Chains A and B, each alone.
Chain A
Amino acid sequence: RKEVEQDPGPFNVPEGATVAFNCTYSNSASQSFFWYRQDCRKEPKLLMSVYSSGNEDGRFTAQLNRASQYISLLIRDSKLSDSATYLCVVNSMDSSYKLIFGSGTRLLVRP
């Protein structure tokens, strides 16, 4: 089983739609969780951290469910510029702080 799993998509949605991505992780002791965004042929960039209580940044809401070991990202009022691949990321538990990536979910927002 992969350490971090995501639905690869693509999710094809119209502008203004609400879209949600889920991600599951296998190590129940994991403590740090993130969503990254990767544009085509570019490096991944940190979108937001995911906190136990859930957190929001503008149109983006991230949630963590420790009992079920999944993380979610909700995007409201989708924009064309949201089209990208969204990567779910978990930090390793040791001092290496390794970032363990899911394979990503591709989002296409159409006019």
Chain B
Amino acid sequence: SQTIHQWPATLVQPVGSPLSLECTVEGTSNPNLYWYRQAAGRGLQLLFYSVGIGQISSEVPQNLSASRPQDRQFILSSKKLLLSDSGFYLCAWSSGQGGNFGPGTRLTVT
């Protein structure tokens, strides 16, 4: 079965600092991968998705970026965090039959 790992679980970063969140998937090859963000009390917003190595699509303009250096690795980055970047970041895998999420990273930008 497929397993998604995300780290760290929680993160507190000052405004203007860089960010790197990592997600890895086990148990599948060539998965479609996604980064979602959920602000407090809000729904899930799709940030990026990737259908293969080096292939990244952005859903919303922002100061975040994503990369997929390996088949089962998906990284979310920022050069300079904003207060509005605070939220719950979730990595997911999908096959068209629904999808599974990693445990998420709770980011607080101070």
Please give the residue numbers on chain A whose beta carbons come within 8 Å of chain B beta carbons, in ascending order.
32, 34, 41-46, 49, 87, 89, 91, 95-104
- Are B96 and A91 touching (Cβ within 8 A)? yes
A-B contact pairs, 29 of them (CB 8 A): A32-B98, A41-B106, A42-B103, A42-B104, A43-B102, A44-B44, A44-B101, A45-B100, A49-B97, A49-B98, A91-B96, A95-B51, A96-B32, A96-B49, A97-B32, A97-B94, A97-B95, A97-B96, A97-B99, A98-B46, A99-B34, A99-B46, A99-B94, A99-B99, A100-B46, A101-B43, A102-B43, A103-B42, A103-B43
- Docked Cα-Cα span, A41 to B105, in Å, equals 10
Minimal beta-carbon separation of A41 from chain B (angstroms): 7
- Asked whether A87 and B32 contact (CB < 8 A) given A43-B102, A46-B98, A95-B51, the answer is no
Minimal beta-carbon separation of A98 from chain B (angstroms): 6
- Kindly state whether residue B90 has any CB partner on chain A within 8 Å: yes
8 cross-chain pairs, A with B, having the tightest CB-CB distances, nearest first: A103-B43, A43-B101, A101-B44, A97-B94, A97-B96, A46-B98, A34-B98, A43-B104
